[in-house]
């Protein structure tokens, strides 16, 4: 299940001070947009002030990375968008990776406006798309050796 970021205002974001009717309308729009992809229901989370790094055709793009883990070890990290940025050292996320009971998964992390990092999504690695700049061999060669 994915959010509807491309319809941010009407199907994704509920601003502070919204009424119950506003919330219900946003949820209904999300169901209209993504309902066929639902597994169980909706997840509502607190808004995080993410650092805007660029633009996409559908709106702002944040400085976001997809981290892949195999057996608790960080295998690869790549920008989610095709930004020309150096990949930071994400080894600080390895203790979290060891706590997730899955042999293969990905974490989407994004930079906050204040420069810190936040996990924005945990994905089953088998369904996580590869970021455009990630050579599949960079990920799968160490994964095969991690077992």
Confidence band of 2 (pLDDT split at 50, 70, 90): low
What CA–CA distance (Å, rounded) separates 97 from 92?
A: 10
Confidence at residue 58, expressed as pLDDT on a 0 to 100 scale: 72
pTM: 0.79
What CA–CA distance (Å, rounded) separates 64 from 33?
A: 23
User: Residues 74, 134, 90, 124: is their CA dihedral positive or negative?
Assistant: negative
Averaged pLDDT for residues 76-85: 86
Domain ranges of the chain: 5-37, 52-146
Averaged pLDDT for residues 82-110: 91
pLDDT in tens, 22-67: 999 999 999 998 887 777 778 888 889 999 888 877 777 889 999 9
Confidence at residue 18, expressed as pLDDT on a 0 to 100 scale: 96
Confidence band of 145 (pLDDT split at 50, 70, 90): low
Are 77 and 67 in contact, with CB atoms under 8 Å apart? yes
CB neighbours (10 Å) of residue 77?
A: 23
What CATH topology corresponds to 52-146? D-amino Acid Aminotransferase; Chain A, domain 1 (3.30.470)
């Amino acid at each position: 299940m994915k959010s509807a970021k491309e319809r941010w205002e009407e199907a994704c974001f509920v601003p502070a001070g919204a009424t119950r009717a506003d919330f219900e309308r946003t949820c209904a729009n999300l169901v209209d947009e993504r309902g066929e992809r639902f597994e169980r229901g909706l997840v509502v989370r607190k808004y995080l002030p993410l650092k805007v790094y660029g633009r996409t055709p559908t709106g702002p793009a944040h400085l976001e990375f997809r981290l892949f883990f195999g057996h608790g070890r960080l295998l690869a990290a790549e920008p989610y968008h095709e930004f020309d940025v150096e990949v930071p050292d994400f080894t600080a996320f390895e203790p979290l990776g060891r706590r997730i009971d899955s042999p293969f998964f990905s974490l989407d992390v994004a930079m906050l406006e204040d420069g810190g990092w936040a996990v924005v999504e945990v994905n089953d690695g088998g369904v996580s798309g590869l970021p455009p700049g990630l050579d599949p061999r960079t990920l799968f060669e160490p994964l095969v050796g991690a077992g």
